[in-house]
A and B are shown apart, each in its own frame.
Chain A
Amino acid sequence: MLCENCGKNEAAIHLTQIQNNEMSTLHLCEACAESRGLSTGHPAGVAPLADFIAQMGKSIAAETVATAGTCPSCGLTLADFKRTGRLGCARCYTTFDASLRGLLRKLHGGTQHSGKVYLPPDPTETDRTARVVSLRRSLSRAVEAEDFERAAALRDQIRRLEAGQEG
């Protein structure tokens, strides 16, 4: 369908209006819609990552090239990451630590995880303690929310962990 205003471009905005109990629809191309002051309400975050990564590349170049390099575990380079937006392995997070921090801050507003703490199949004492701390946090939330079923389950989990059993 062509734009009803200019008749040249493909109509991308379909504006439906109701006035005095009458509905009318206007089909406009993006340029004509914009000239009429209509916001297209583009989906947020279509490609925010690409922008961020492009930005990141610039700041890296300005800093030192030595921090970039290649991941010793999977062979991913910063250039690969800039191209695909995907990291290659867990080690990449250490290899590219310096450049990732800035990106994570932009994406998420911070770098510190505060959710669930993972308890590995063969946990150390530190793992257990960290897990118990996060479970306690969930427990007080569950109590606040009066979700007593969940609270009881969490309490049992904490007890098992403190008794040295897997949670």
Chain B
Amino acid sequence: MVNGFLGAVPDAGLAWLRADGPHADIVLSTRIRLARNLRNFRFGTRAEGADRQEVLRLTLEAAGAAPVLTSGRQVVVSELEQSERQLLLERHLVSRELIGGNGHVAPTHTALLMMVNEEDHLRLQNILGGFRLRDAWRDVERLDDELGQRLPYAFHTEFGYLTSCPTNVGTGLRASVLMHLPGLVLTQEIGKVLQGISQVGLTFRGLYGEGSEVVGNFFQISNQTTLGKTEEDLIDHLQRIVHQVVQYETQARQVLLRDAPVVIEDKVWRAYGLLRHARSTTFEEVMNLLSGVRLGVGLKLIPDLSVYTLNRIMIFTQSAHLEQVAGAPLAEGDADTHRAAFVRQVLQAEAGAPPER
């Protein structure tokens, strides 16, 4: 049960919402993912029931002996209700593939998480708040070492760690950061920046993974290649480029404040006003308004509003979360009114009196 799992894991895998990492006003979260497979079993897409069971058994045995994971809880995705699966997905804790299949997930007391029987037998994942690539990598690497001492991984002397999809082979490493870049979007510099990113071996996508649209000015930037460079090189490269993008974004925001202060303040306060008072909002609208408010908080135009609150709104206004609070499935129109009410309530509690200047 997710509720059991929510109770067992502090913040239920949402520790990164606290936004306590470096550059948390621009970089929401850092994620590292390692793909691993066991040598003598078919990979996820071609594995049969018995193979999957055996992979799970071996993995849990190894995980039980791994100090990093001993406090973990196992969640069997196939035993979850659809709404519970959706909750995990909305928290970015599991992949769409795992939700659709019969995989397992084992979150731990830290932000470390292990997915079993996804497209690859193992996906080790770590999500931290702010811009913390090296920290995120350190924990995943330790888990990988501990599991690797007990599990026979599929490893090729030339190609490295073997994966179901050839785009992941080699290191099996995908490092990504979730960035909020309204300054670059408003100054129309974003096209150039994204083009630059794809020219240096990185790639970008929207908030919800591959092929998803860009919503709320969020961009996920990650390494494109996984083979031929060391894990440290891949991470350092991403680190350097993201650091540069943070600087560009900061500059763009300063330019906006200098050249178009009225436009920006108006945009920020209108967004805040709508969120504070609207009676019905779609998720996409909330995301776009949040982007304006987030910019306002980053520019210190809106006092007394924390990034943590904005992050919470972003996760808890998704439909499965609203339904969990409501305790029942919500029709589309109902979801919109529940969403608006939730946002009003959270902002009211944080800000107290209505915004007046």
Contact = CB atoms under 8 A, between A and B. Distances in A.
A117 B227 CA distance: 13
A119 B227 contact: no
Contacts of A138: 230, 232
Contacts of B225: 107-109
B191 interface: yes
B167 A107 contact: yes
A23 interface: yes
A113 B148 contact: no
Contacts of B173: 115
A111 B158 contact: yes
Interface core residue of A109, A111, A118, A121 (most chain B CB under 10 Å): A118
B169 interface: yes
B191 A39 contact: yes
B198 A16 contact: no
A99 to B, nearest CB: 10
A114 interface: yes
B166 A104 contact: yes
B190 interface: yes
A2 interface: no
Interface string B225-245: 111111110100000000000
Given A43-B206, A88-B43, A115-B170, A21 B153 contact: no
If over half of A's interface residues share one DSSP class (helix, strand or loop), that class is named, otherwise mixed; here it is loop
B154 A119 contact: no
Contact of A45 (B187, B191, B195, B203): B203
Contacts, number: 167
Interface residues of A, number: 51
Interface in A70-117: 73-76, 84-90, 93, 100, 103-104, 107-117
B302 interface: no
Contacts of B232: 138, 141
Interface in A11-51: 15-18, 21-23, 39, 41, 43-46, 49
Interface string B146-189: 00111111111111111111110111010000000000011110
A137 interface: yes
B175 to A, nearest CB: 12
A22 B156 CA distance: 59
Contacts of B169: 93, 104, 108, 113
A114 B204 contact: no
Given A103-B166, A113-B227, A93 B194 contact: no
> Closest 7 CB pairs between A and B?
A113-B160, A90-B154, A44-B198, A108-B227, A118-B155, A115-B171, A88-B46
